[in-house]
Amino acid sequence: MKNIDSKGHVTGKSLYLDDIPVRQGTLHAVVFFSPVAHAKIKNLEVTDARNYPGVIDILTAKDIPGENQIGGIIPDEPLFAEYETDYLGQPVALVVAETERIARRARQLIKLDFDELEVITDPRVATEKGWLLTPPTIFSMGEPEKKWSHCKYIFEGSVEQAGQEHLYLETQGAYSYPAEDGRIMVHSSTQSPTAAQRTIAKVLGISMNQIQVDVVRLGGGFGGKEDQATAPAVMVALAAQKLEKPVKLVLSRADDMQITGKRHPYSSDFKIGLSQDLKILAYEVTYYQNGGASNDLSPAISQRTLFHTTNSYYIPDVKATLYSCKTNLPPNTAFRGFGAPQGMFVIESAIAKAAMELHVPASLIQKRNLLRENDLFYYGQTAKQVNIRKTWKTLCDEYHLQEKQKEIESFNKKNRIYKKGMAMMPVTFGISFTNISMNQARALVHIYHDGSIGVSTGAIEMGQGVNTKMMQVAAHTFSIDPSRIKLETTNTSRVSNTSPTAASSGADLNGNALLVACNALLMRLKAFVAEQLKASKKEVEIVNERVFVKGNETDFTWEKLIRQAFLNRVNLTEHGHYATPVIHFDVEKGKGHPFAYHTYGTAAFVVKVDVLRGIYEVEEVDIVHDFGDSMNQSIDIGQVEGALVQGIGYMTMEELSYNSDGKLLSNSLSTYKVPDIYGVPKTVNVMPLKTSGHTLAVMGSKAVGEPPLLYGLGVYFAIQNAMREFNPQFASFDAPMTPEKVLMGLYPRSKSVPETTKSEKQLLKTE
């Protein structure tokens, strides 16, 4: 089945927040934010701005009737800075005017008087100063400190990783208008309508039932709208409440890049110990997470870094310590992978370092340590239905990786300007929210008496195809044509207390809730047929819109059945609730069974580096991925391809750059490069691993949203392997690997540019 949104997207008919027709008298808002990263606020001067023609109001912390507090997990983030600003981009006021243009002009007239304070952007410096967002977290198993003496080889090193801008095509925004009796309606581009509703209630000083949040779809979220869509929603709701007018706020790209948090940069230290036969015996790691100015989702992201510290490997003795550091940057937040990329990049770097020192391919160490059935993850969960070795082996066999390696070797012997490198990237990703209570969902199904169906769930469509999957779940359960089913907007008045659509669990959680509702309706319909036709419930079946009793077709079609059921006053509406069974976790001990299951897969990268210019090309990526029993292969493969490219961008060209004053320098698309059509791999092969699926995955179809982003890490090591063909001394773990860094890495002081042969000169000329 095709993604039901495809046609609307390519014809431009799909509605996004900014397309919602606005009401008469709608006002427009822009955010005035701090121009400095850290300062005591002395005075906020808004008189000139307020007097600017067309300006209606300027809202500040003083206009908040409830609490000036939007922190999701920990209440440490004001909606508007009042006494102190903690990052450049922190909202201080909201300018509301007749048009957006007027609001922008007026914003320039606001003056903030302040005394600058010390700015810290480096998480290690923050740790030294005791600037921590939460106390350090340690997860461990065994005692690595007692294991070092048993290790034949021990390697240590440091790893740097920059952040990543979400760059959703649709920027953050919200639209709100007052309804009767102080009620507030909010349209929002959020992954988490309930978080918006809860926070609006807190800030506006009203109860949650006074607020209705509605979401049509997002033009991408990627985690950036799990928590940070809340602030714009609260701002417009606050303005709508105070001014009793509709208010709209859509961030410009520049404002969005400046104000919102990104993927967390990390700086880490590792120590890895191996036996003579390359078994990893012990691993110790310390992460310094750059959290930004407030917690946002950092505590949950920290946990997922710790959960994925050993990636796809069994290591008997592990200790991982994480410092979540407060810095004067925008609060960093969820981004596809949710801390896992940072954890996995460090263990892969440790393995790469060991391989370099020992002069063996990293893939040998990787392969030797891959998880097996019943191995213990160091957080206490026993690995079950482990498919990592199968994906690895299938990849090697189906894509003839040994031969490819030989071709690369002979290519490298023959060429001096171009060097090729290969790397393997196995991925094991846990599926479930790391916060156990979030693993629940609800769905509401109406069968209308013409036989058509309206489905509401808590899932947010953001391009990942969850609505199509929901339609498939309902169509499959009733055995009816999907065209009878309509997916409603996600709305807090229809489906309440939703978890964000995140953790790759949107389809699993909401799909399972929807199954509960559909199955209840189906049972009720079967009971009705049984009663009408004097049969037993078990003998009734609905197949392709026809009703059978004991295998014999009756004269009930789907439409007739529904019509008759309605006339006989059968309830045709059902609400389903689902909570993931099995999972539990003791945060204090760092032990439990936090994941419903794991998703597995392995990727192989071939890259070609131009050693004269430092530029590179990803020639081929081959992937074997465990989709379980995929319910929609075209959507799922699309997820793998998209996530892969996003991961490659993260590891190669996307370079966030802040100066020491905490100012984002790469604040536009001219300085922040993302993969374009020329940047994607020339060939991408995605092969589904043949499995029967997992019982906790919706209809056996495993979660796919985030895991494939992790494949992208492999490109770093493939580039590094290619570079080492030219400069064998090169060993640095500092992502992203931009062409500039490649060039610097290829030429240490002693190294000169290679002499070129005649044919190579010719090649250079033609290029």
Among 504, 630, 652, 720, binds ligand MTE (CB under 6 A): 504
Is 334 a binder of ligand HPA (CB under 6 A)?
yes
Phi, psi of 417 (to 5 degrees): -85, -35
**DSSP characters for 578-606?**
EE-SS-EEETTTTEEE--SEEEEEEEEEE
Question: In angstroms, how far is the first alpha carbon of the chain from the final one?
Answer: 43
CA distance 601 to 625: 4
Among 28, 217, 336, 404, binds ligand MTE (CB under 6 A): 336
Q: Which of ligand MOS, ligand MTE, ligand HPA, none is residue 300 near (CB under 5 to 8 Å by kind)?
A: ligand HPA
Is 605 a binder of ligand MOS (CB under 6 A)?
no
C-beta of 435: minimal distance to ligand HPA in Å? 5
For ligand MTE, give the closer residue by CB, 702 or 741: 702
Q: Which of ligand HPA, ligand MTE, ligand MOS, none is residue 292 near (CB under 5 to 8 Å by kind)?
A: none
Provide the token pair at 654.
Answer: 């996307």
Is 220 a binder of ligand MTE (CB under 6 A)?
yes
C-beta of 576: minimal distance to ligand HPA in Å? 22
CA distance 231 to 218: 16
C-beta of 508: minimal distance to ligand MOS in Å? 12
Is 171 a binder of ligand MTE (CB under 6 A)?
no
Among 195, 462, 623, 746, binds ligand MTE (CB under 6 A): 462
Q: Which of ligand HPA, ligand MTE, ligand MOS, none is residue 462 near (CB under 5 to 8 Å by kind)?
A: ligand MTE
**DSSP characters for 415-442?**
-SSEEEEEEEEEEEEEES-SSGGG-EEE
According to DSSP, residue 132 is labeled: B
For ligand MTE, give the closer residue by CB, 169 or 753: 169
CA distance 396 to 377: 25
Q: Which of ligand MTE, ligand MOS, ligand HPA, none is residue 304 near (CB under 5 to 8 Å by kind)?
A: ligand HPA
Sheet holding 266-274, edge to edge: 137-141, 317-326, 280-292, 266-274, 153-161, 734-735
Residues 610, 616 contacting (CB under 8 angstroms)? yes
- Kind of pairing between the strands at 153-161 and 734-735: parallel
Among 223, 299, 451, 465, binds ligand MOS (CB under 6 A): 223
**DSSP characters for 523-551?**
HHHHHHHHHHHT--GGGEEEETTEEEETT
Sheet holding 39-45, edge to edge: 84-85, 39-45, 111-116
Cross-strand partners of 425: 603
Q: Which of ligand MOS, ligand HPA, ligand MTE, none is residue 134 near (CB under 5 to 8 Å by kind)?
A: none
CA distance 318 to 307: 11
Closest CA to 514 of 439, 443, 441: 443
Among 248, 264, 336, 494, binds ligand MOS (CB under 6 A): 336
Is 434 a binder of ligand HPA (CB under 6 A)?
yes
C-beta of 226: minimal distance to ligand HPA in Å? 6
CA distance 307 to 315: 13
Among 503, 640, 664, 686, binds ligand MOS (CB under 6 A): 503
Choose the stretch contacting ligand MTE; rule: CB under 6 A; options: 36-44, 412-420, 456-464, 589-597.
456-464
Interacting residues with ligand HPA between 219 and 258 (CB under 6 A) = 226
Q: How many binding residues for ligand MTE (CB under 6 A)?
A: 21
Closest CA to 139 of 586, 592, 589: 589
Choose the stretch contacting ligand MOS; rule: CB under 6 A; options: 36-44, 246-254, 332-340, 479-487.
332-340
CA distance 580 to 512: 9
**CA triple 617-623-627, angle to 5 deg:** 145
Provide the token pair at 387.
Answer: 């498919």
Is 529 a binder of ligand MOS (CB under 6 A)?
no
C-beta of 644: minimal distance to ligand MOS in Å? 16
Q: What are the residue numbers of the active site? A: 706
Q: Which of ligand MTE, ligand HPA, ligand MOS, none is residue 267 near (CB under 5 to 8 Å by kind)?
A: none
Among 503, 562, 689, 713, binds ligand HPA (CB under 6 A): 503
Interacting residues with ligand MTE between 688 and 717 (CB under 6 A) = 703, 705-706
Is 91 a binder of ligand MTE (CB under 6 A)?
no
C-beta of 192: minimal distance to ligand MOS in Å? 9
Is 338 a binder of ligand HPA (CB under 6 A)?
yes
Q: How many binding residues for ligand MOS (CB under 6 A)?
A: 10
Is 642 a binder of ligand MTE (CB under 6 A)?
yes
C-alpha distances (whole Å) from 487 to each of 4, 462, 556, 665 are 10, 14, 26, 42
Choose the stretch contacting ligand MTE; rule: CB under 6 A; options: 125-133, 227-235, 412-420, 497-505.
497-505
Within 10 Å of residue 199's Cβ, how many Cβ atoms? 26
Instruction: Return the SS3 of 507.
Output: helix
C-beta of 292: minimal distance to ligand MTE in Å? 18
Is 441 a binder of ligand MTE (CB under 6 A)?
no
For ligand HPA, give the closer residue by CB, 198 or 420: 198
Instruction: Return the SS3 of 486.
Output: strand
Q: What are the residues binding ligand MOS (CB under 6 A)?
A: 191, 223, 226, 334-336, 338, 502-503, 706
Q: Which residues contact ligand MTE (rule: CB under 6 A)?
A: 220-223, 336, 462-464, 466, 501-507, 639, 642, 703, 705-706
